[in-house]
Amino acid sequence: MTTNRVLAFVALVLAAGAMVVGRPSTTPPGHIDVDRLAAMIAHEDDHVTAVELGTWLRDGKPGLRVIDVRPKADFDEYHLPHAENVPLPSIGKASFRPDETLVLYSDGGAHAAQAWVMLRSLGFTNVYFLRGGLGEWLDDVMTPMLPTDATPAEREAFRKIADLSTYFGGTPGVGPRPPASSTSEKVKAMRRRGC
Amino acid sequence: MTTFALPLVIGVAFGWTLERAGLGSARKLVGQFYLRDLTVFKVMFSALVTAMLGLFWLGRLGVIDLAAVYVPQTFVAPQSLGGVLFGVGFVVSGLCPGTSCVAAATGRLDGVATVAGMFAGVLLTGLALPSIWTFYESTPRGAVTLPDALRLPYGAVVFGVVLAALVGFQIAERLERRA
């Protein structure tokens, strides 16, 4: 048997095996690999920060889709730039491609994190959620604050965040962080500013 | 480090393999268009089948995450025009991008000319991009894969492509013997 015939035979056997097993993944759709997800959560590979997401949006990360899992009324009131509204109840019916990078967000982090688990169970691996939700976006990107007693390293880091903030029409400031207010109040404040 | 070192190693290995397969010679490449020498078809289809079977089984064994493999977006009209332009360039020069680099590296002047023409084309396209942007982004179809487009199981598509390759190799060998 010549080398070509041996190689052809090996390719045919591997291809026939591929047809038998069907999918190039051991995890069937709808199955959750609990150990793997737990390890990802422990390594904090499951989420992105608001600044990371802002950088991806600004730099036009290929295949990025930002998904707002809140109800439509909340989405219409305020949402992140380029975000799409897929309310949580319809997340299983949404059309996502495996090679897309999906970033989910909600008001806090809980609903987006739950949607993350659902999409992972459907076999999507390039999925993240915004850790602190819309509140983190408003705090860290739209109204970042540089403490008055900041170190030079903190000032340098803040300069980049301030650039990012300005890009999205935010208002970086200097001073003590204002008292925490609820997300809905911040949203209303953003709307008053015309964002 | 791996950002530069790994592509360099892969690139050198790719170039070396192309040269060893005789694809640094424009005479050998144009033989394909006259059905005299189908080495290009055999080398490229072998590479495709090897990569496909490798990706499928490495994914199945959990070594790589197939979802993380980038699938280029499809834009029907601009990519069709690009394909025609590529084909015309291939026939005229007798070389494609990879083989032109191999030809240039082995000191062939036609290879150097093709590489220079290729970079000039890239530069001109880049400069003209703002004015052709509407066409550049027209007829988008998303990142389409064969299993999606044909609505067939992944494994069935793998088997079909391998079968097509093996039948294709048989036909190619017969055509070469006849030539």
Lowest-confidence pick of A13-27, A177-191, B59-73, B135-149 = A177-191
B175 touches chain A (CB under 8 A): no
Residue B24, classified by CB atoms within 10 Å of its CB into exposed (0-12), middle (13-18) or buried (19+), is: buried
Neighbouring-strand partners of residue A67? A84, A104
Q: Are strands B74-75 and B140-142 parallel, antiparallel or unpaired?
A: antiparallel
Contact A22 B153 (CB under 8 A): yes
Handedness of CA A67, A70, A76, A79 (dihedral sign): negative
Which stretches of B21-108 are DSSP H helices? 26-30, 39-60, 76-93, 97-105
ipTM of the complex: 0.81
B72 touches chain A (CB under 8 A): no
Domains annotated on chain A, with CATH: 34-136 (3.40.250.10), 143-182 (no CATH)
pLDDT bracket for residue A181 (50, 70, 90): low
Higher pLDDT, A29 or B54: B54
Neighbouring-strand partners of residue A130? A48
Contact A18 B166 (CB under 8 A): no
CA of A109 vs chain B CAs: smallest distance (Å)? 25
How far is Cα B128 from Cα B132, in angstroms, rounded to an integer?
A: 6
Within 8 A by CB and 6+ apart from A182, the residues are: none
How far is Cα A126 from Cα B23, in angstroms, rounded to an integer?
A: 38
Return the pLDDT at A62.
Answer: 87
CA of A10 vs chain B CAs: smallest distance (Å)? 10
- Report which of A129, A93, A82 is spatially closest to residue A108, judged by C-alpha positions: A129
What proportion of chain A, given as a percentage, has pLDDT over 90? 44
Return the pLDDT at A195.
Answer: 42
B168 touches chain A (CB under 8 A): no
**Using H for helix, E for strand and C for coil, what is the string for A148-170?**
CCCCHHHHHHHHHHHHHHHHCCC
Within 8 A by CB and 6+ apart from B70, the residues are: A62, A63, A99
Return the pLDDT at A179.
Answer: 58
| Amino acid identity at A11 | A
Task: List Cα–Cα distances, A84 to A44, A98, B77, in angstroms.
Answer: 24, 17, 27
Summarised one tens digit per residue, pLDDT across range A96-148 is: 877 789 999 999 889 999 999 888 887 788 899 998 999 999 999 999 988 88
- Report which of A146, A151, A143 is spatially closest to residue A175, judged by C-alpha positions: A146
CA of A27 vs chain B CAs: smallest distance (Å)? 9
B84 touches chain A (CB under 8 A): no
Contacts of A125 in chain B (CB under 8 A): 65, 67-68
Low-confidence ranges of chain B (pLDDT < 50): none
Contact B53 A126 (CB under 8 A): no
Average pLDDT over residues A147-162: 87
CB–CB of A85/A68 below 8 Å? yes
Which string of b and e fits B54-72 if b means at least 16 CB within 10 Å? ebbbebbeeeeebbeeebe
3-state DSSP call for residue B109?
helix
In the 8-state DSSP scheme, what is residue A145? Answer: E
Summarised one tens digit per residue, pLDDT across range A34-77 is: 888 888 888 888 899 999 999 999 999 988 999 999 999 999 99
CB–CB of A69/A111 below 8 Å? yes
Q: What is the largest CA-CA distance in chain B?
A: 50
Return the pLDDT at A185.
Answer: 59
